[in-house]
Structure 1
Amino acid sequence: MFKQKSYDKLYTGGTLYLVPTPIGNLQDMTFRSVETLKKVEYIASEDTRNTQKLLNHFEINTPQISFHDHNYKERIPELLVKLQHGESIAQVSDAGMPSISDPGHELVVAAIAQGIPVVPLPGATAGVTALVASGLPADRFSFYGFLKRKKNEQQTELKNLLNQVETQIFYESPHRVKATVANFIEVFGPDRQVVLCRELTKLHEEFLRGTAEEVYQYLADHDVKGECCLLLEGATQVVTDEESWQEWSVSEHLTYMIEQEGLTSKDAIKQVAKLRKVPKQEVYMIYHQ
């Protein structure tokens, strides 16, 4: 076991700082973050052009090194050498906390493996910022990030969350948010509470609160812009027995039979059709939508 001590006087290498950046409003940058970016030897940036705007605003002249999803395998050995030679590095993403749906995790793991101190700075993160103003319970929550894009794959992910009682947090593109809410309705039903947050901390910050059906109807009539954060109410009643299936949608019933009862999809379709007294072909079509 390696126990990190930031004050270890025997260590002569550099430090990896994880520095949050504003998610929209530059005034959310902390004094400590600005000071850290000024004092390190390098800044590892997800997008150097985007980060340069931030550096210019705060008159920070530290050189940048690009570090993103497409080059991290080549960059990590280079950054480790610099850290081992006593040069400190601040890692930043385009907005918010590094590693939260952004690059950074692999560098942190590599630094820890080499005994290099990793120092996180607190700061803005979109998911928690949206959560505390959503009106949904914030004492227990799960951050899921971006869902898969294809409908079937996304519904499969969502079905795994069917009985989660905590508030769920998702990130979504404005171009796909309507389809995602439609999948919420398909999997969780139309009455689950949903909150759509967009343009957090910016001039046009907006919260849209309502049932999944109400939010979907709004999105059907309006175009939304800006990165979106979707929050989903947790299950108010966890289904633990088969007697409650009358309250489920066909999709929910199938999910329970497959995941909780361990049936194959073929047997689950047959059993659900039998219990509901509907044609098997109808259940089959819903399963394969």
Structure 2
Amino acid sequence: MLDDFMMRALLAGLAVALATGPLGCFVVWRRMAYFGDATSHAAILGVALALGFQISIFVGTLIVALLMAMIVSVMAGRGWAMDTTLGVLAHSALAFGLVAVSFLPAVRVDLTAYLFGDILAVSRMDLAIILSGSALVLGMILWRWSALLTATLNEDLAHASGLSPARERMVLTLSLAVVVAVALKIVGALLIAAMLIVPAAAARNVARTPEVMAMFAVVIGGLSVWGGLQLSLWQDTPSGPSIVVVAALIFALFTFAAALVQKRPGR
């Protein structure tokens, strides 16, 4: 079964959707969209360093994503104006990564694959790494679900309950870094944030509880992967952007349906 490249691509995409679904909900609730951008854009710098030091792309990406996520988390804890700071960090990290790659003339790099993903090229080893990383993230989110939700809703309530908002923020930070590292192969650095945000934003239109929203986000992410792969196969479009296009269409459909329901008499 795993000899079929489309099956490997589908399994890899579904594994990432399992992790990005619940994690994306916290990104939406905490308004961390730019946080995801900064971490994902730093992945290109990780690719450049990995190629320069001849180490695994996954390891290089994970190290830089963790470093960027830790920097952003510390700055957020100290009360920095995060919108501007994250904008600077996100675009600077991407630019440094692109420039660093140009200093590697002996290495031929297809940056398009890292920027927009190449899910159809997922190997058995890539699939094993993606499955392991997604399982780790999903496990951390499930383990800390109640604490993360409490810290997200009200930090004072979290303190009163004996929880540490800083620790819960660190769990999200580590989870985000791992997701960026494993999703780079699938949707690329420029589209990782979309896979985190769009399914969760679509799920928010139909969910009434946090748990239902997380489950809907996983389902929408999985449908986006399947639909994007079908679109890519049918119309020969880039697979990563196709996945995000399907997710955006689902978001538009759910938003329109929610607006119609709200306009019904008696609502």
- TM-score, normalization by structure 1: 0.20
Higher relative contact order (CA 8 A, sep 6+): 2
Larger radius of gyration: 1
| Structure with more of its chain in helix, by fraction | 2
